[in-house]
Homo-oligomer: A and B are copies of this chain.
Amino acid sequence: MRTFINVQDIGPLDKAMAEAFEIKNDRYKYQHLGKNKTLMMIFFNNSLRTRLSTQKAAMNMGMNVIVLDVNAGAWKLETERGVIMDGDKSEHLLEAIPVMGCYCDIIGVRSFAGLTDRDYDYAETVLQQFIKYSGRPVFAMETATVHPLQAFADLITIKEWQTHPRPLPTGRGVYTSVGSTEAEGNYSPPSQGGVGGGSSKVVLTWAPHCRSLPQAVPNSFAQWMLADPDIDLVITHPEGYELDPQFVAGARVEYDQRKAFEGADFIYAKNWSNPGVTNPADYGKITCNDRSWTVDTEHMSWTNNGKFMHCLPVRRNLIVTDDVIESPNSLVIPEAANREISCSVVLKRMLEALQ
């Protein structure tokens, strides 16, 4: 595997799931693959979950890790030829990126959408420059339009509860202790191959937020859900918030949130700013602030005892109420814990290709 951006990059999902559960049962099984291999994590934007889980996954795989924080303001690379570089850009990407590639074996890139220039964001300019010029396998650690490590972790989580429903014990104390604390070896994975248990209705629902957020998470989530034949995806959002067709073509869109929620097995809440699909001038703007979309217990009562999911960080009582996120049906912490697993599989694949 040379790039990890879209769901197609991971190949057949049942095989990817089987690897995920194998690694979850024995996180250090493939540690030999990473010996004397170096991961370079390049952050153009802040990160908490991605930074920590990716570092952990790389260490699980026996890799060395170099973390590079690029102050977005300082990263002024010249990209044109012929320019006399006597301004504020001190290096050309044609030197900077190959040099980074010299000192590592695999590169992870984090770079958010600017949310002002749709074409620039959706061209994934920074990510593509690394792919083209670094000479190394490259994976997205959330970029302008995709967050595949999150979507992969979400799919792992859905498979765990879809085929092997284990209600979490109730109570806030327990809410906080789930995650990767589950003793390894005792962990019971879903049926062989990780796929099975029949079809589930999964609802991706927009929810309100006070700031403009990218579409990376919903884009990748939709793409991954649509790739799984055992998942029936419904997307619900206010009119005008249509996601880009390259990610959601073929998905069912239901503008009535209640109708969408009816009979759902999994509710995946997320805010995103206007994708500018129906009106390009709206790109990156907040064109709806309807707080009736906040997921509360009444919303969840419409579902089929649905599980609640969110990629975190989450603004409580804006995206979701305290009661719902702390309920036994909330999977937010297991989702986060599975970030270590999805990234381990990606690194395993890339390391295997380097052997």
Contact = CB atoms under 8 A, between A and B. Distances in A.
Interface string A69-96: 0000000001001111111001110111
A234 interface: no
Nearest to A133: B176
A86 B333 contact: no
A314 B82 contact: no
A99 B150 CA distance: 14
Contacts of A312: 91, 95, 99
A179 interface: yes
Contacts of A28: 36
B36 A98 contact: no
Given A52-B66, A176-B133, A179-B135, A314 B91 contact: yes
Interface stretch (A13-21, A275-283, A316-324): A316-324
A49 interface: yes
Interface residues of A, number: 69
Given A85-B318, A86-B318, A318-B84, A99 B38 contact: no
Interface stretch (A101-109, A111-119, A237-245, A262-270): A101-109
A177 interface: yes
Interface string A126-150: 0000001111000000000000000
A111 to B, nearest CB: 17
Minimum-distance CB pairs A-B, first 7: A91-B313, A85-B315, A86-B210, A102-B179, A102-B337, A52-B103, A84-B317
